[in-house]
Structure 1
Amino acid sequence: MAVVFVLGGALTALAVADYAHAGWTGGRWRVPAEAVTAMSWLTAGTVTAYARPRMPFGWLLAAGGLCLAASGALTAHASLAAIDGRVAEAAWTGWVGGWVFFPHLGAAAAVYLLFPAGDLPSPRWRVALPLVGAANVAAVLVTALTPGPLAADGPLASVANPIGGVAWAPSALPFAVAAINATFLSSVFAMRLRLRGIDARLRPTVRLVFWLAVVNTGIGLLLIEPPGPWIYGMAVPSTVCLTAAVSFGIVRGALWDVRATVGRALTFLALTGCVVAVFVGAVTASTILLGNDVTGVPIAALIVCIGLTPVQRRLRDWIERLLYGRRTEPYAVLSAFGTTLEAAGEPGEGLRHLTELAAASLRLPWVAVELRAAGTTPVASAGRPQGSVVRLALRHHGEDLGALVVGLRAGETEFAPADRRLLEDLARQAGAAAYASSLTAALRRHRADLVAVREQERRRLRRDLHDGVASTLTALGLKTEVAAELLPHRPERGAVLIAEVRADLATALSDIRRVIEDLGPAVVTDLGLRGALATLARRFSSDNMTVTADIAPGADRLDPSVEAAVYWIVNEALQNVAKHAQASRCEVTMTVAGTDVDLRIADDGRGVPPDATAGGGMPNMRLRAEEVGGSWSVGGPGVGTEVRATLPLAVPLTATEERLDD
């Protein structure tokens, strides 16, 4: 392949040198265009064959470029020989140079048919390659056998075909050219059909090559009868972009950054168009105003030299923004996000604005924010998920809060470093908003839990008042009426009833005091935690069950909120034991373990049945423990039940609360 590349380069250089020595008989536009086209084919073929030697594309591109270079070199040498009077030499080299060009067209059609995997679109297309070969062989034979001069104009117009030819060849030439054009069009159509069922990762690559092939084929049809020298200025960039796209698409496959290549190709095409327009305009103006086209060339060169860099920079920036958004302006994107976050009504709205801003600023198909508290369901998103995604961690003060999930653009398998840096900056900025959103969600969740607990407590209090105090007072009223009726007639019996009313009043007063204590652990304030737990133990002790409270030294000096949590957990647990456990003994123990206090309520009852359903008591105990930063668990089924809670000695302030206190 290296030999082919060097040989093709040498032939191209020889063609340019011979045409220049012959006075540019081939045209100042056509000769450089053919030279650049031949080198683009040779370069693309060499790179592709080196990277993918088992695929046919490299060899087809290199062979096509070599044929194009050989045709140019032989035709140039023949023109120079005809000018110098070496007619025989001019005849044979010009004759070979005339027909050796056609294999180049056959190679191009074969590349279109086989791209990108090296196989045909379907078995029905198996006759396509033989037809391409037949059309090009026919073109070679017709060209080689056409009698008469080797060219319509120029030095070779006076040189005849050295083998004489056959009479039917000129009539067959239009049909051969039409057959070649038909193979080109059918090959491009085959590529269009391939887009329907191709792998989604390769579709952007094939689509780009398809449209470049359409442009290149159209320009090739115009070159049959060139409408002007400007057509060669269009042929060069279209061919270079096409061969580069084919080569990189095969070499890198699905890893090819299609957008980056498209951006460079568009920049190159636009810049080339500007340069061509400047040259044509300057030469045309010089011809009209000064009567010659020589002055316009240095003027155009001066304009291009002065304006090339700024024009290229502006074109590149514009196309970069068209394909990638504002990734080259990270400060502007971050500033816009900060402004949006300030104007957001709540953290959740700020996260939604973040996803919309990132999707619009970077031309991303999908952006979403996932928070750990909400599971895998995004709390905010923009666009629709498609293809692969990249996850960036959302952190705040070292805490992992969730992820910023970003969908890759079509044709990409990873983000460019500039995209990655900007997304990481956005993720860092969004960490605070995610933290605020998590706090808001937790606050709402705890508020709902508190509302539920308050409602449960209200119902329990209503039930206790109705079933206990209210029924006792009703009975007392009835006994008082009976006693009032009996005192005048049966004073002894009335006195007995009054004594019972007095005893019942004491019981009712005790019940009322218990209800008052249940409304808030005032007993803890009055007696301390040790005394309050001892009071609970005495209250729930009975002839059938003994309750003991063992508080280790230091375990009764806790944060007030932790003391309240301990009291309510023990109260709720003892109520459950008294109602459901059928136990004879229940022990309440508290010990200190480092910075935590270990609370244990264990009974020897029937345990928790396997089919038991949790009522309001267990969720209440768990919520009491979690509110102060602790944990809660219950043991069973089996003999006995053990309720355990691990609570901090003091409730620590969160980082946010510490900053607020400061």
Structure 2
Amino acid sequence: MHGRHRAAETATPDDAATAQALLDALELIGSAEDLDGTLRRLAAVGRALAQASYAVVELCGSDAPDLRVAEGTVVEGGHERLHADLRTRGVLLGRIVVGRPEEAFVDEDRRLVDRLAGLSGSLVVEAMALEDRDSTRERMLTADRGRIARDLHDLVIQRLYATGLHLQAAKAGDHDSVGSAISTAVRDIDTAIRDVRATIFELSRGPARSLAAEARALVEEYAPALGFTPALRISGPVDTVLVESVADEALLVLREALSNVARHAQASTVQVELTASPAWFMLRVTDDGVGIPPRAGIASGLRNAGRRAATRGGVMRTGDVTPHGTSLVWLVPASS
């Protein structure tokens, strides 16, 4: 262990290998399913890159962090630790801390941790945005369930309860009053059945689907990570001709494309286009960033997007644009 660090102080680092290791680490961190998973993978990567005994990621950089995750056994005091701020667009999100009681860190360790922190800020922002969106959706579902429960109580249960009271009161009356009460009860029960059916239909139907609205919400979700809101242009009947599975996959591809721009492109503008006809649907995402490096591979998320297009009888293409930047086109049959 000591020998590795003495050599690291004199040897020239393999920048290409280091860059590839960081890219692989960012892809691993970015594939986490939620904020907690993102922070845990960030801590694990930081610990591995610095060959540390432990790593801690804290949000949001205060003495009492909002969220704190750790990888390895944290040792307090008596040894050197490395600190690096997590930032995006100049905004402090938190910090990553790595520690190793056995020996001191060297400059290469500090450089790796600083670069990891600098590159991971946008991923943390993405995960935070997703968590906020999921929390908002859960609050909306909870509110909707509460409304439906109140409707069932006020419109159905109360009507059935009143019907029962009327029938009980009619037992003491004559034949005509009993017949009238039964007729009224049948009418009220029919009304209650219609109310229950309407509620069941609403639950099964769910909210009306709008790909345009969901795409608009998605580009706004990525505004903090990009530093600007992508421009969105919609042409044709995108909300009416697409089958639901195509709309779902279009949003997945759009998310992956925006995520790649936020991580790698260093862009100042992004144009998103949704174009639909009765036969075809096209998603185009164009940025003015640094473009695709020579011999760079396609990220796994975009490879999956290409497979999805091919499975549906469509195609996906990526390429450079003039004077600089990248374009992604995802074209599939609208009803595939």
Give the shorter-chain TM-score range: 0.3 to 0.5
Name which one, 1 or 2, has greater alpha-carbon Rg.
Answer: 1
- The structure carrying a bigger helix percent of its residues is 1
The higher relative CO (CA closer than 8 Å, separation ≥ 6) is in 2
